[in-house]
Each structure stands twice: as structure tokens, then as C-alpha cells.
């Protein structure tokens, strides 16, 4: 009995070692996108869209408001940890970190940005093309730090995460007249898909080979969108959810096409729509109690500076809430969604 137990234990540890070993195949996680993945770049630029003050980060290590738009971590942090790397991914512009830290993970994302240049202009944040410029600068620094060969190996074996698009629709297309006078929403989806393609092709030319792209969650169910949905008694805005599904489908076709066309590229669609939708439809299955309002402040419309520590209405237990502020998920939601994507998409493809 004792022997069997030990043998089992031995097998289990060997299996775990194998898993851990296979996980070290990814030497670094490199992140592009918007507030869904920004770990603090907006702290260092002049924009009103910030979150480096309390109560943001109150469930992060040390209760630190890092500039993540959450009470805790964002998906790339969980992904990094699952691949055996560090539990948080530093922001490229953060002066507390250097190339030594960035060698195993770096985030170029900027809250409020989108595929479209006119989206990042709305809140004066980092446009996607500039995220790529920062990436080029990072490559040079990495080569100076580790030498050409080692750096190139990391850059081609790294997992590149892209997560953006919500702001193109909600902060630009549906809010401002410019793009709406030029494009139908379907045409705008096509336009953004083309911009996504151009970006991925550039990243590929620069050496990126393992890419995960995340499109849109059911953005019509964000508390802010419910609040302004007077017509439908503050239900989810169906049109926005339909656009999200349509755009995701277009991204998935793009992913298939690029996998066919670009040798040695492995790109996957980490589509979070269904899992987030499932959580929103049946929150109690996941241990949530509140889905229509966010934790911070009244939960109806506040984010960034309106979600601050002077607001007396902020909830005490964010784990009961799907959303942290009116536009962003809680740490717990991010964790559940990321685990789902890891198990179903990322670990099978890159683990």
C-alpha cells in the first residue's frame, strides 16, 4: 500500500515536472492592447484615463494601485503565471522596471486605445502603431542586454498577446460622429480587421511567431452601457453584443487566413465572448451576486477618476461582483475567464 502510494506520488511529481518543463517553452509574454491588459503605461502619459489611485488595486499584492483597471490583476498576469513566469507583467513605461524585468514579460498596452488611430486620439493615449514602436525599442534593448542570439530566440519563442477593439466601438464609433459618417458598422468592423491584419503582419516581420488575439466581450452588458440603455430597462444593449460577435467572427477568419499564409506562424483566437456571456447570464454558478452594477462607487457609470477613494458607495467584497468599475471586470472575473482561455486555447497551443 505504502509502495503504491509512493509510486503514485513519484508519477505525479514526474508528471508535474514534465508539465512545468513544457511550460518553460515560453520564455516571455509580450502584451499589446487596451485597458483590458494595460498594467500601468497610462500612469506615465498625459491622459485623463488613469487608475493609479485607490481603490484600484486594493486586492493587488500590497493593495497597490498600479494603473491596472481592476481591483487586482488583469489576464496577462494570470497567463504569465500559468506559463511558469512571474505573476505580474510590468508596464514598459514604468521607471521602476528595467530590461532585466522586461526580458521575461513586458506590457505595451494603453487603456483607451484601439486599432483605429482616431480612437487613441479621443483620450490622448498610446496609439497601436506607437505600441509597436516601443516594441522595436525593446528589441534593441533586449539585444544589447542579452546579445543578439539569445534575444532573437526569446523574441521568436515569446507569446504575444493582443487584446483590444472595445474602445473603437464604444469610445469612438458609437460616441463620435466621425467614423459613423464614413462607415456602416459592418464596414467599420472590416476596417478594424484590416488594421489588425496589418499589425499582425508587421509583428510577424519583426519575428513574432506565437500570437494570441482576443476580440470583444459582450460589451453591451458593461454596466456603463446598461445604465444608458433606458429603452430596454437597463438590459444589455443587444446591438453592441451582436457587433461584438460579428467582429470576433471576422477576427477568427483572419486568424485562419494568417495561419495558412505565414510560414511558422501560430496564431490563435482567444475569444472570451462566450465565457463572459456565460458568467453574465448565470453569475451565481461562478459565485457572483451582482452583475448589473459594478463594485466601485455607485457602479452605474464610474471609472477612472470617478472611481476614487472618496466615494462612499464602493462595495466591500469585490468577489461578489462581475465588474469592478463600470467598464472593467474584477480580479475574480479576469481569473475565471483567463483560466478558461488557458485550458481551452492557450495551453493546448503553446504549453
Ligand X SMILES: *[C@@H]1O[C@H](CO)[C@@H](O)[C@H](O)[C@H]1NC(C)=O
Considering beta carbons, is residue 197 or 246 the nearer one to ligand X? 197
Does position 124 bind ligand X by CB under 6 A?
no
CA distance 285 to 53: 32
For the record, the C-alpha cell of 296 comes out as 466601485
**Interacting residues of 230 by C-beta distance below 8 A, sequence separation 6+:** none
Q: Is 175 helix (H, G, I), strand (E, B) or coil?
A: coil
Nearest approach, Cβ of residue 117 and ligand X (Å): 4
Choose the catalytic residue: 35, 36, 110, 120.
35
Q: Is 34 a catalytic residue?
A: no
Long-range CB contacts for residues 5-14, cutoff 8 Å, separation at least 24: none
Q: Is 328 a catalytic residue?
A: yes
Q: Is 59 a catalytic residue?
A: no
Which one among 45, 54, 86, 129 touches ligand X, defined by CB under 6 A?
A: 129
Instruction: State the binding string over 11-40 for ligand X (x if CB under 6 A, else -).
Output: ------------------------------
CA distance 74 to 186: 30
Does position 259 bind ligand X by CB under 6 A?
no
Closest by alpha carbon to 72, among 346, 292, 347, 336?
A: 336
Give buried/exposed letters for 173-184 (b at 16+ CB in 10 A, else e): bbeeeebeeeee
Nearest approach, Cβ of residue 237 and ligand X (Å): 27
CA distance 259 to 271: 16
Nearest approach, Cβ of residue 129 and ligand X (Å): 5
Instruction: State the binding string over 76-115 for ligand X (x if CB under 6 A, else -).
Output: ----------------------------------------
Choose the catalytic residue: 120, 328, 331, 340.
328
The size of the chain, in residues, is: 351
In the bound state, the residue with its beta carbon closest to ligand X is 117
Which one among 8, 20, 61, 117 touches ligand X, defined by CB under 6 A?
A: 117
Identify the bridge partners of residue 106 per DSSP, sorted by sequence position.
Answer: 30
Q: Which residues bind ligand X (CB under 6 A)?
A: 117, 129, 195
Q: Mind telling me the catalytic residues?
A: 35, 325, 328
Amino acid at each position: 500500500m505504502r509502495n503504491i502510494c509512493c509510486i503514485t506520488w513519484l508519477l505525479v511529481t514526474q508528471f508535474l515536472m514534465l508539465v512545468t518543463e513544457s511550460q518553460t517553452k515560453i520564455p516571455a509574454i509580450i502584451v499589446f492592447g487596451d485597458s483590458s491588459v494595460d498594467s500601468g503605461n497610462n500612469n506615465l502619459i498625459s491622459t485623463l484615463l488613469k487608475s493609479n489611485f485607490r481603490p484600484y488595486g486594493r486586492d493587488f499584492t500590497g493593495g497597490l494601485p498600479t494603473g491596472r483597471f481592476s481591483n487586482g490583476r488583469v489576464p496577462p498576469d494570470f497567463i504569465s503565471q500559468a506559463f511558469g513566469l512571474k505573476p505580474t507583467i510590468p508596464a514598459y513605461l514604468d521607471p521602476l522596471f528595467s530590461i532585466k524585468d522586461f526580458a521575461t514579460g513586458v506590457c505595451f498596452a494603453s487603456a483607451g486605445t484601439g486599432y483605429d488611430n482616431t480612437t487613441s486620439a479621443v483620450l490622448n493615449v498610446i496609439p497601436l502603431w506607437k505600441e509597436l514602436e516601443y516594441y522595436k525599442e525593446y528589441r534593441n534593448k533586449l539585444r544589447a542586454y542579452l546579445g543578439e542570439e539569445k534575444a532573437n530566440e526569446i523574441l521568436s519563442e515569446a507569446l504575444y498577446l493582443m487584446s483590444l477593439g472595445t474602445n473603437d466601438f464604444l469610445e469612438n464609433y458609437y460616441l463620435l460622429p466621425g467614423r459613423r459618417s464614413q462607415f456602416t458598422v459592418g464596414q467599420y468592423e472590416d476596417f478594424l480587421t484590416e488594421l489588425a491584419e496589418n499589425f499582425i503582419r508587421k509583428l510577424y516581420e519583426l519575428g513574432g511567431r506565437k500570437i494570441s488575439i482576443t476580440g470583444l466581450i459582450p460589451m453591451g452588458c458593461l454596466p456603463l452601457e446598461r445604465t444608458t440603455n433606458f429603452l430596454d430597462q437597463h438590459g444589455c444593449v443587444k446591438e453592441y453584443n451582436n457587433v461584438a460577435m460579428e467582429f470576433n467572427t471576422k477576427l477568427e477568419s483572419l486568424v485562419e487566413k494568417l495561419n495558412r499564409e505565414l510560414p511558422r506562424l501560430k496564431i490563435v483566437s482567444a475569444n472570451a465572448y462566450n465565457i463572459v456571456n456565460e458568467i453574465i447570464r448565470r453569475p451565481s454558478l461562478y459565485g457572483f451576486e451582482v452583475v448589473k452594477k459594478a463594485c466601485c462607487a455607485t457602479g452605474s457609470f464610474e471609472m477612472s477618476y470617478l472611481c476614487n477613494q472618496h466615494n462612499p458607495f464602493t462595495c466591500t467584497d469585490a468577489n461578489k461582483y462581475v465588474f469592478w468599475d463600470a467598464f472593467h471586470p474584477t480580479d475574480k472575473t479576469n481569473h475565471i475567464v483567463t483560466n478558461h482561455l488557458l485550458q481551452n486555447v492557450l495551453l493546448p497551443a503553446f504549453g
